[in-house]
Amino acid sequence: MSAFPRFTPLARSLPATVPFVGPEAIERQRHARLTARIGANESGFGPAPSVIAAMTTALSGIWKYNDPENFELKAALARHLGVQPDNLAIGEGIDGLLGQIVRLVIEPGMPVVTSLGGYPTFNFHVAGHGGRLGTVPYDGNDRENLDGLLEAVRREDAPLVYLANPDNPMGSWWDAGRIVDFARALPETTLLVLDEAYGETAPAGTLPDLASLIDRPNILRTRTFSKAYGLAGARVGYAISAPGTAAAFDKIRNHFGMNRVGTAAAEAALNDQAYLQTVIARIAASRATIADIADRAGLKALPSATNFVAIDCGRDATFARAIVDGLMDEAGVFIRMPGAAPLNRCIRVSAGPEAEMQAFAAALPRVLDRLSRA
C-alpha cells in the first residue's frame, strides 16, 4: 500500500526547511530566555499608541472575517502613496506576497535570478514551486550586483528576478537612478520583484519615485508594515504595480488571509506619520550606537540604510558564528549573521531600545575576549 499522505513528487523531493530559526526556537533549544532580541529586524520600539488603541477597538469585531477586498486599507494606502487602489495588492507580509508572486510566474524548471546570500525566504518559495535558482555574488562594496543580475537574467532568459533595495542582510543600497536604469533595462518578459521593506529607514533618493515605474507591468514593488511601523506580528504587506499585474493576485491569493486587527493597525499606522518619524530617528540613533559598539570592540560596522547594521568581524564564518553563539550562550543576546560567503564574515544586529543596546555592548567584549584566548 502506498504511503500517505500522497504528496506530489516535488513536495517529496523538498527538505523540511525553516528559512529562519526564530528566537523562540532558540530559547527552547537553549533553555534560556533572551535579554536582547536584536536579530530579527523587528522594531523593538513598537507601534504608535494610536495604533495600539485602534487594534484594541478592532478586537471586539474579531469574530468577523476581514473584508476580502481590503477596500479601506487599499484606499488609505492609495491616498498615502499618491497612487490608485488598483495599483495595490495586499498580503500577509512580504513573505506571503513573495510566495504568491512565485506561484503566479514560476513552473518547475524555470530559472529565477537573485543574489547569492540574499533574502532566504524568496529562495524557499522558488524551491517550493520547483524553480531553478540562479545566484549572483554581491559586488566588492557588499551591494547587490545590478550589472551581474541583469547579465544573469539575459543569459538565463529568466521570467523572474528578485532585488532588495535597501538590502537584507548587508544594509547596503543603490540610489534611485541606478534602480530605475536596472528596471528599465530588463526584458519585458522578466518580472522584477523590487523589495523595499526597509524603504522608510533609507536615505532620501534611495526609493524611485512611484510614477517612474508604476506603468510598467513587469515591475512589482513590495513594502511592509513589519519594520519601521513596528507591526511584524500583524503580517501586513503590500505590492505596488500596474493595475493588471496587481489584479493578478486575485487569481490565487487567500481572500480571507488578512485579519481585521492587523488591517486596522496598518490603517492607523498610516495616519500617525509623526510617530513614524520619531521611530525613524530612534533607528538612526541606534544604528550609530551599534557602530560605536563595534568600533570599540575592534570590529567594522558597514554603512546601513535599514533598521539593522552588518558588522564585519574581519575573519570568516566560523568566527562570526562563534560570536553569534557566544552572545546567546553568555548573555542571552540574540543576533544573526548572513548565510553565504563572503557575507558570512559579518554579524547582523538590529536597532533596538537602549537597554538592549547596553546588553549587547556589555556582552560583545566578553565574547571576543574569550574567543581570543580559545
CA distances from 233 to 59, 86, 92, 229, 257 (A): 15, 26, 10, 11, 14
Q: Percent of the chain beyond pLDDT 70? A: 99
Three-class DSSP labels, 48-77:
CHHHHHHHHHHHCCCCCCCCCCCHHHHHHH
Whole-prediction pTM: 0.96
DSSP 235-253: --EEEE--HHHHHGGGGTS
340-357 mean pLDDT: 98
Q: What pLDDT, in 10s, does the model give residues 171-194?
A: 999 999 999 999 999 999 999 999
pLDDT of residue 32: 82
- SS3 string, 279-335, reads HHHHHHHHHHHHHHHHHHCCCEECCCCCCEEEEECCCCHHHHHHHHHHHHHHHCEEC
Residues 6+ apart with CB under 8 A from 37: 23, 44, 334, 352, 356
- pLDDT score for 1: 46
Q: How far is CA 106 from the centre of its chain?
A: 21
Number of H helices and E strands in the chain, helices first, is 13, 12
Determine the pLDDT at residue 2. 56
**How many CB atoms within 10 Å of residue 130?**
18
What is the rounded (10 degree) CA torsion for 24, 344, 193, 11? -60
Check residue 164 and report its DSSP letter: E
Residues 6+ apart with CB under 8 A from 268: 48, 50, 51, 53, 54, 55
Domains and CATH numbers, the chain: 9-46+274-373 (3.90.1150.10), 49-272 (3.40.640.10)
| Band of residue 49 on the pLDDT scale cut at 50, 70, 90 | very high
* Mean pLDDT across 86-96: 98
